[in-house]
Structure 1
């Protein structure tokens, strides 16, 4: 029996190259339909959802960015257990179907954790458990949870974890990419505090990876993205819950240099008291119709006013235009300030650079951003922020104590500044212009930082554009080590061929 593409070719309606493409597309569509039907037959109708159903649309609408919510897969596997993920992987890989994996869906660029039909989406949002060990030293977290509910669940136990600074950020992607926390100056990345991963491998096996079982995989998963396995549970260190002091302060944009200098002094104090988190954010606010600057503050020690005043003294000396700082508050309230400033459901992209501590490059990036977005401000929903976040040497020392990272950072790098250029807009028609402006800023910042000898090569995967060279930034030795781990646990490169999204080795 002739295929549809063959028939068109014989009648002269398709060029040979186009016929091959159509035939390939048809094979993918047929394979995807077969995969979805088999998945539904084996996992059940409530676990495999199709476009048009309420359950399917509810999951798609829960992505953080509008770009991800617009992508419609062939079907969606709503996994409720590691076994569901294992069964799905066996069916999907046997059928040769392309797929994506979503934990909570906070990455912003289209296709980061979603896939267009005929691809199949594996959704881990229902894997959102929070379980505390009997001795309250370890917390087991499902990848589909978000940090607000995690903190709520841990409060009655009087413990916390190295988690996100937004209530809506997901557990899985946050830890998988490293994870910056207000606890990072004392305890490093969130990934430094993982004691065990439960992982589904490319052949569908469910294994544990820790310091004694699959230790190479355990190390690799701290920089593995979508290459080594699908993590279905994170077991992480717990720490005593302490009162929080913090909030935000706004400033006149002309005070930018002063507040940035004050942040540098704050960074230099962290080795004596690594209990504070903060950032300086320059940008354009649609609400204010003007450029703005604000600082975020978090102090995690006991409610010792003298201590936190000393740690943040220079930053607190700069006169604010508004002040939301509270004493004796909690992480959820601190995170809510971020959630109000950076809401979901809009068109959004992140981009990143890592810099040595230098005020002039930060000022330059602000000015370049102001110019690059000048023709776009005033369009519906357009805002941008350049957030400068410290990576203290105490953070990198904690990472080293935990066994190091394959991401290419060490205490020898000294104090660093992480840039997150966060842009938001509403209209799809503005996509190209916004993306061009972002790349203009990042390209300028890269060249200028190199010229000033203040560029660090590392790129933070959770903030990176899809075409930023994340793995190249880890260094050849780390990439070679990760490839060796990948070849051991996925010798057929199944995930490389079929798992779309994330960053690939």
Structure 2
């Protein structure tokens, strides 16, 4: 029997069975009173299955890796109709393929995930006027240069709203404890803000602080640039492009442009081994949620990113599969042909092998 909409916690083994039909809010709400948490989505309304099959960056990824690093079993309905529990010991090749290989091998109806102790956290959202972009840029650069605490995370977003003809700047701060060390976020907190929603709260409350309701009914297209590091030249280009493209669209456009800067520590990929994604775990690239000509900017600063794998869940719809799976692509195609010879899963959306 599938676990499509179920959550079952095993405190002795510190594992939770999660139905693929749920959103992360459901999982956090169930685990919160139990003092437990999983590596999952960072915004309310995100589905468990999509993020978990594509990689999965989290606020606690600096400590525990990606979502796929913390999945120990999949409940999989194979294209022939049989239902199997896939683990590394029961079927190593499918286990490899499902960890980042998207929905190519059958319908995943449940995940068994590692859990971790979770108390209250500190953080929330801050919004600024557009003229705070330079200060936020400098604070972000200083944070990346000096902070190695895996409990700390920031997400700096630079955007432009053509209808208002103005830049938009916002920030997410996170610390996995009720109170952070005073020095970690001080450069962010001194920037004059429009709104501030920072508090000691539950992990669920922090995730629900980012709502996507304002985007309901709108189309969104995202892409990614995988970079080795953020430097001042790169972030200056981000600031310039938000204004250039925002003004190019004109005030009559309903389009909103956003560039998300997501610094993670270099050890983030040390929590897992070889999976479908990323194809190379020897170097952690930053899965920047942005686009335009920023690849060229990073390369001009000496970054070797020609073969950097693009993050599955951010990559644009027509991205060549080689740019996501690299040298793993031939192996994934072989596994796909073995378990889905009639290409049943080719009728579904997503990245198709």
- TM-score, scaled relative to structure 1: 0.64
Q: CA deviation at 1:349?
A: 1.6
2:322 aligned with 1:503: no
Per-residue deviation at 1:190? 0.7
SS class of match (2:215): coil
After superposition, the Cα gap between the structure-2 partners of 1:380 and 1:483, relative to the gap in structure 1 and judged at 3 Å, is same
Structure 1 gap ranges (5+): 1-80, 83-125, 422-440
TM-superposition CA deviations, 1:298-353 (whole Å, max 9, x none): 1112x244x2x2332333344434322112x1222222232158633222222211
Which residue in the other structure is 1:362 paired with? 235
1:148-182 deviations in Å (ceiling 9; x for gaps): 12211112212111111112000000111111110
Secondary structure of 2:155 counterpart: strand
Which of 476, 481, 489 does residue 339 from structure 2 map onto? 489
For residue 268 of structure 1, report the CA deviation from its aligned partner: 4.4
SS of 1:351's equivalent? coil
> What value does the CA root-mean-square deviation take over the aligned residues?
2.5
Q: Report matched runs for 1:348-359 at 5 Å.
A: 348-357=220-229, 358-359=231-232
Q: Secondary structure at the match of 1:472?
A: helix
Q: 1:453 aligns with which of 293, 302, 325?
A: 302
Pick from 459, 464, 468 the counterpart of residue 315 of structure 2.
464
Deviations 1:206-255 (A, max 9, x none): 11111211012111111211322211100001111211100122334344
Instruction: Identify the structure with the greater helix proportion.
Output: 1
> Structure 1, residues 63-113: CA drift from partner, whole Å, max 9, x if none?
xxxxxxxxxxxxxxxxxx64xxxxxxxxxxxxxxxxxxxxxxxxxxxxxxx
1:241 and 2:90 aligned: no
In structure 2, relative to structure 1, the CA distance for the partners of 1:319 and 1:413 (3 Å cut) is farther
1:488 CA drift (Å): 2.9
Quote the residue 1:480 is aligned against. Answer: 330
Pair 1:291 & 2:167 matched = yes
Q: SS of the residue aligned with 2:223? A: strand
- Distance verdict in 2 for CA 1:459–1:470, change over 3 Å: farther
Contact 1:397/1:410 (CA < 8 Å) preserved in 2?
no
Instruction: Give the number of the structure with larger relative contact order, counting CA–CA contacts within 8 Å between residues 6 or more apart.
Output: 2
Q: Distance in 2 between matches of 1:371 and 1:157?
A: 48
Q: Is the 8 A contact 1:283 1:293 kept in 2?
A: yes
2:283 counterpart residue number: 413
Query: What SS does structure 2 have at the residue aligned with 1:482?
Result: helix
Aligned to 1:146: 23
Larger radius of gyration: 1
Matches within 5 A, 1:53-132: 82=2, 127-132=4-9
Match among 197, 200, 208 for residue 324 of structure 1: 197
2:47 counterpart of 1:196? no
4+ residue stretches of structure 1 with deviation over 6 A? none
Rounded Cα–Cα distance in structure 2 between residues aligned with 1:189 and 1:354: 16
Partner Cα distance (1:212, 1:270) in 2: 38
Using a 3 Å threshold, how does the CA distance of structure 1 residues 137 and 458 change in structure 2: closer, same or farther?
A: same
SS at match of 1:459: coil
Could you say if the C-alpha distance between residues 342 and 238 of structure 1 is closer, same or farther in structure 2, counting changes exceeding 3 Å?
farther
CA displacement at 1:277 relative to structure 2: 1.9
Q: Matched residues in 1 for 2:283 and 2:186: separation?
A: 26
Residue aligned with 1:338, SS: coil
Unmatched runs of 5 consecutive residues or more in structure 2: none
